[in-house]
Amino acid sequence: MSPTALVVADPRSPVGIRTTLEALGAARALLDRSGGGKVALALLGHGLGDVPEAAKRWGADQVLVLDDPRLAIFRSETYAWGAEGLVKRLAPPVVVLLPGSTMGRELVGRLSARLGGGGTSEALELELEETRGLRVRRPLFGGKASETLSLPFPAVASLRPNAFAPSEASAAAPVEAVELPKAGPAGPGAELLERSPVPVSDTPPLTQAPVVVSGGRGLRGPENWPLLEDLARALGAGLGASRAVVDAGWRPAAEQVGQTGASVSPQLYVAVGISGAIQHLVGMSSSRCIVAINTDPSAPIFKVADYGVVGDALVLLPPLTEAIRRARAGAGP
């Protein structure tokens, strides 16, 4: 029997849409390698507006819409309950893929527990084991090692951002409205006490950017951060920071890269004035190419860097940024 893949969308932000498209691309590739199958997309929320109309061309074979006031705010217990009902509507065996966003990472454990199958997060590779389950490779120790798991059906996996090619635009898929049962999960669950607005940035989201520029104490103070911001804009890069910088209050916690911050896997990672403590390396060592700028030639960051520049970042950044702008504008060096 051909398997079914259900992708639970996270359409609440550009980051969520990007990771949802990656999950759809992963689902399609997974089924195509195994002889085909149906990809269903689940939209959960309330007041979704024109999202279903846009989502029907994201590459799924079917779009299931759960629009309910109880889903207006993301709560993992309520969303897992809704997604469980959708899984039971589909022909088994079922693989559930969740986007590599905060929502996907939070939902994977609760949903896999409700379904009674297997679940894991940060998937790098996926392969079906005929009718037995899903084989998943995921990173360990900050990308220094990996493990391969076999998850029984129904299998649930959230994906690592940027690990899978996003789906391409397709013909319109049929959209079906689904209702939640009147009875919900037991208990009041979480209660929303306050909303904090997210600062608006003109750089790409950190965990989704193909290029990331991060700064450390080598910039010597928050007043020098515009130099790094200029470099990030020239490269079209996301902006990151070391823990030392965040602890010092120079940058917001949302920009922290490392063991207690964000894990990133960009095509290019530029570390400026970052010594390379193991806690930072855990969050960025899986980057495709690493460039380090530091005044200390013995800094640990150079051990993992593909290219290293020994020098003062405050002196090097302005001409480097200008050279990148000229090159991207086609004006030459």
Query: What single letter denotes the amino acid at residue 91?
Result: A
Return the pLDDT at 192: 66
Res 60: pLDDT: 94
Give the integer Cα–Cα distance in Å for 182 and 176.
19
Q: What is the pLDDT of residues 219-234, one digit of tens each?
A: 999 999 999 999 999 9
- CATH hierarchy code of domain 4-178: 3.40.50.620
135: nearest Cα among 121, 124, 148, 118 = 148
CA–CA separation, 9 vs 58, rounded Å? Answer: 11
* pLDDT score, position 121: 92
Which are the contacts of 236, defined by CB distance < 8 A and separation ≥ 6?
A: 204, 209, 211
Q: Does pTM surpass 0.85?
A: no
Half-sphere exposure of 250 (CA within 13 A, CB side): 23
Q: How is the chain split into domains, by residue range?
A: 4-178, 211-328
DSSP 201-220: -SS--TTT-SEEEEE-GGG-
pLDDT mean values, one per 10 residues, the chain (333 residues): 87 81 94 90 92 93 93 90 92 91 90 93 90 87 82 93 86 90 63 66 78 96 95 94 94 88 89 94 90 96 96 96 91 52
Asked if 123 contacts 158 with a C-beta cutoff of 8 angstroms, the reply is yes
* pLDDT value of residue 249: 93
Residue 189's pLDDT is 57
- pLDDT of 184 reads 66
Quote the CA–CA distance of 18 and 24 in Å, as a whole number. 10
Q: What is the pLDDT of residue 331?
A: 54
- 4-178 against 211-328: fold identical: yes
Q: What is d(CA 188, CA 304) in angstroms, rounded to the nearest whole number? A: 47
Q: Does domain 211-328 have CATH number 3.30.230.70?
A: no
